[in-house]
Amino acid sequence: MLLNLICCRDAERTLVIIKALRHCNSRVRDRFVALVSLGVASTTSTHTLTAELLEVLWTIFLPCNLTIFDTAVSEFTSARFLSTRKAIKLITLSNARYDTLGTIHNEMAKAYLHQSLTCDQDSTDLHESCCLTNVLLGALYY
């Protein structure tokens, strides 16, 4: 049962578990994050990084208040704009530190920007959005 929860690929269930672990020992939370990260890495190595797996990573590597805020905002914004917004948030977090977590934030930001480029969306400001995304991707890869 516990292994089934740890290996879940659902961001909503992962958020519920993270909230429940907030009151536990930090080692328990760290082990849960490690196991979920390994599960996502294992799936990604054999398949590809899906939007749902990226949301699971967003849930475990960012504070709960950011996750709740962006989930509420996602109902009112386009997928392209939300992916770009999450990437910008991750970029600002990764510039603050140069450790493993900063590297994870940087790689997640790249994944969100690639996701925003592949969104099929009709918009009048689609050109400006793609230009912004390409500039951010170029800066991250540099």
Domain extents in the chain: 77-142
* C-alpha dihedral sign at 20, 22, 24, 26: positive
| CB-based contacts of 31, cutoff 8 Å, min separation 6 | none
- Asked whether the predicted pLDDT for residue 123 surpasses 60, the reply is no
d(CA 125, CA 51): 23
- State the pLDDT at residue 27: 92
Which has more pLDDT, 72 or 140? 140
Task: Mention every residue, 6+ apart, whose C-beta is less than 8 A from residue 83.
Answer: 112, 113, 115, 116, 119
Maximum Cα–Cα distance across the chain: 49
Q: Report pLDDT digits (tens) over 69-96.
A: 455 454 545 677 788 888 888 888 766 5
List pLDDT tens digits, range 4-62.
555 556 888 888 888 888 888 989 989 998 999 898 988 888 988 888 999 999 998 88
Q: What DSSP state is assigned to residue 118?
A: H
Band of pLDDT at residue 124, cut at 50, 70 and 90: low
Q: By C-alpha distance, which of 73, 24, 54, 60 is closest to 114? A: 54
